[in-house]
A and B are shown apart, each in its own frame.
Chain A
Amino acid sequence: MTTKLIVGLDGAEPGERALDHAKHLSKLIGDCTIELVYIIEWSPYSFQTPEENAMRHKRNEQETKTATERVISPALATLKAEGFKANGRVLHGDAAELLNKVATKEKAQQIIVARSKESGFAAKLFGSVTAKLVMSAGVPVTVVN
């Protein structure tokens, strides 16, 4: 049975670090699939104007398309060129919650994320995705520094 690693991408440098670590692990494991996940932060409980609601579906499609084109597709192309087995997806919602959900659904062995360089105050105020994930995940989590 193939080992599955979930990698949280953010379209920036921390995501790259997480992916590098996943590649390293994948080589050590051998039969391994890397599942790339890009999450667009979204809450069903936010407040919007009627116009924003009317445009929401269009924006949803645009956001998914942009994230796929800019983050997931290039990463998948590189991984496949380097001989790795990989899949990718773009989701809307709470990052920590969704990473854990995907890991459970895919029966993954591990979630790999990287610590972002969020300032202490912002992290304290809003709570970091990594901290939330470590506290709530149902599978082992590796946080790359």
Chain B
Amino acid sequence: MQNKQMVSCAIISIISFFHSSAAFAEGSIDETVNEIFASATGWFVNLIFAPLPGTSFPWIVLWLVTGATVFTIYFGFIQFRAIRHSIDLVKGDYSDPDDAGEVSHFQALATALSGTVGLGNIAGVAVAVSIGGPGATFWMVLAGLMGMASKFTECTLGVKYRNEYADGTVSGGPMYYISKGFKERGVPGGRFLAGLFAVFCILGALGGGNMFQANQAHAQISSIVGDYPGWITGIIFALVVFAVIVGGIKSIASVTEKIVPIMGVLYVSAALIIILMNADKVGWAFEQIFLGAFTGLGVAGGFVGALIQGFKRAAFSNEAGVGSAAIAHSAVRTKEPITEGLVSLLEPFIDTVVICTMTALVIIITGQLTSDPATGLYLVGESGRIITADGSSGVALTSAAFSSAISWFPYVLAVAVVMFAFSTMISWSYYGLKAWTYLFGEGKTTELVFKLMFCVFVVIGAAANLGPVIDFSDAAIFAMAVANIIGLYFLMPIVKKELNSYMSRLKSGEIKKFND
């Protein structure tokens, strides 16, 4: 019965998509998709980003920041005091040689990172600094540092409460720790909250994990080869995604998984080169970042505008508190769930504090943001964004910044964007699928319905305009954090108990390094 309902749901969504395609004869396909999409998702976006009464501050941003602050304080600034041990864990110093052949800490970290490092770091940061100014970078880094504690909490729980099946496979994530953890602590409503998370996770997978990626990949490709309809990119992408997630063609996924880290290193190296080439402007850039953080330097909403953008982009990029990484990390078979939490706290650091800051510095240093020389304030256009040197936004802005120093870099960036987008889609198709099977049960038909729907959304994402897609993507990802952080508040004492026990055994020498 459930399966029937799902199949009909999927069929309806596919039919409505292709029905809208029928209207394409009248106007352009992209415009039609965009209109339908914007009108269908507007209410959801408004609800998630509703401002706090009497302010322009979205409640959801406060929600995330409060969560990260609470976890930072509750765990005694774990992100700073345990980072050395986290690195030792990733290096494998504490890995039992008898566990060889299982997923290592490094692999879990790399897999989770390939789901988060991507367009958020390239396009997202460009959006943040073009709306919030350089000051957004400061708040983004701060949110990244605080988010390390959120990530630590959720990934520890992800491993502790995962489901292990008789065939040796595992499923984990917020939906499992919320339902099982609440039951264990005698807190009511666990199943409802877990279900709510799963619904939001599916939306997040289709939004930020899919449509936003397809959209920006198309933007990047068309900036190189010239403008052409987005649905063409969408269909090509959808076919490749289909080949991997439905066709099971592992070689495509494994090639991507190997290329993505290389692209990441290449991206950071190029950014470092540009920063070094403009070493004399680094001091000025940091001045702009600090000044902008507290004054706004003329951006819409002043320093609050910078703060909102910084926090929003950090959360969208590193997904701390969102719960997605907990799904990725739960595959590790460790006797100590806390070790997985400690490893995962490196993600927001690598993703936001290092990579996002690189992007922001390159955009600022290469002078992409125009300002009034007389006042030093940034010039804001009618859209509320700072007027950029060539009028670009999103990934095109990052591309323009890199090309101003390295003319051929947009080609590398285009490949990187496509690869990042693809690996993020593959990761999120898995997160979404886990949420889907949590709600509707494991089974081949159930999985196929989700996978087909995922492919249809690739086409919609590539064809829609940036505005509605980015709004929906943000809203869907942040909605996951609503249910997840409530769950984390109730379950954080369990993490604390695990942490204290682990740390005392580490101190007493009971937990030893295996590598001599």
Task: Report chain A residues within 8 Å CB of B101.
Answer: 40, 42, 56, 60, 63-64, 92-93
Task: Report chain A residues within 8 Å CB of B258.
Answer: 47
The answer to whether residues A44 and B100 also contact, given A50-B327, A51-B430, A57-B168 and a CB cut-off of 8 A, is yes
What is the distance, in angstroms, from B116's C-beta to the closest C-beta of chain A? 12
B170-193 vs A, CB cutoff 8 Å, 1 = contact: the mask equals: 110000000000000000000000
A32-57 vs B, CB cutoff 8 Å, 1 = contact: the mask equals: 00000000101011111111111111
CB of B100 within 8 A of CB of A53, answer no
Please name the residue on chain A nearest to B105 by beta carbon. A44
CB of A56 within 8 A of CB of B257, answer no
* Residue picked from A50, A52, A60, A63, most chain B C-beta under 10 Å: A50
How far is B95's CA from A93's CA once the two chains are assembled, in angstroms?
Answer: 13
A–B pairs, 23, beta carbons within 8 Å: A44-B100, A45-B106, A47-B107, A47-B254, A47-B260, A48-B107, A48-B110, A49-B111, A49-B257, A49-B426, A49-B427, A50-B111, A50-B426, A50-B430, A51-B253, A52-B253, A53-B107, A53-B111, A55-B168, A56-B103, A57-B169, A61-B168, A93-B101
For chain B, the bracket of interface size reads 35 or more
How far is B169's CA from A53's CA once the two chains are assembled, in angstroms?
Answer: 9
CB of B169 within 8 A of CB of A54, answer yes
How far is B254's CA from A55's CA once the two chains are assembled, in angstroms?
Answer: 14
* Residue picked from A42, A49, A56, A101, most chain B C-beta under 10 Å: A49
CB of A58 within 8 A of CB of B169, answer yes
How far is B104's CA from A57's CA once the two chains are assembled, in angstroms?
Answer: 11
The answer to whether residues A44 and B170 also contact, given A50-B331, A53-B111 and a CB cut-off of 8 A, is no
* Residue picked from B95, B261, B427, B430, most chain A C-beta under 10 Å: B430
Quick check: is B436 within 8 A (CB to CB) of the other chain? no
Task: Report chain A residues within 8 Å CB of B102.
Answer: 56-57, 60
How far is B110's CA from A44's CA once the two chains are assembled, in angstroms?
Answer: 11
CB of A46 within 8 A of CB of B107, answer yes
Please name the residue on chain A nearest to B104 by beta carbon. A44
Task: Report chain B residues within 8 Å CB of A137.
Answer: none
How far is B253's CA from A47's CA once the two chains are assembled, in angstroms?
Answer: 10
CB of A45 within 8 A of CB of B104, answer yes
How far is B344's CA from A57's CA once the two chains are assembled, in angstroms?
Answer: 20
Q: Which 3 A-B pairs have the closest CB atoms?
A: A92-B101, A58-B168, A44-B104
* Residue picked from A44, A45, A61, most chain B C-beta under 10 Å: A44
Task: Report chain B residues within 8 Å CB of A54.
Answer: 169-171, 331, 430
Other-chain residue from A42, A47, A51 in contact with B100 (beta carbon distance below 8 A): A42
What is the distance, in angstroms, from B162's C-beta to the closest C-beta of chain A? 9
- Give the A-binding residues of B (Cβ under 8 A): 92, 95, 97, 100-108, 110-111, 114-115, 167-171, 250, 253-254, 257-258, 260-261, 327-328, 331-333, 426-427, 430-431
How far is B36's CA from A12's CA once the two chains are assembled, in angstroms?
Answer: 61
Task: Report chain B residues within 8 Å CB of A101.
Answer: 97
Query: A50-B427, A53-B111, A58-B167 provided; 4 other pairs, C-beta below 8 A?
Result: A47-B258, A48-B107, A49-B430, A50-B431
How far is B430's CA from A50's CA once the two chains are assembled, in angstroms?
Answer: 7
Quick check: is A91 within 8 A (CB to CB) of the other chain? yes
CB of B430 within 8 A of CB of A55, answer no
A61-105 vs B, CB cutoff 8 Å, 1 = contact: the mask equals: 101100000000000000000000000000111000000010000
CB of A57 within 8 A of CB of B107, answer no
How far is B115's CA from A117's CA once the two chains are assembled, in angstroms?
Answer: 40
Task: Report chain B residues within 8 Å CB of A93.
Answer: 97, 100-101
Task: Report chain B residues within 8 Å CB of A58.
Answer: 167-169
How far is B108's CA from A57's CA once the two chains are assembled, in angstroms?
Answer: 13
Task: Report chain B residues within 8 Å CB of A64.
Answer: 101
CB of B426 within 8 A of CB of A44, answer no
CB of B100 within 8 A of CB of A56, answer no
Task: Report chain A residues within 8 Å CB of B100.
Answer: 42, 44, 91-93
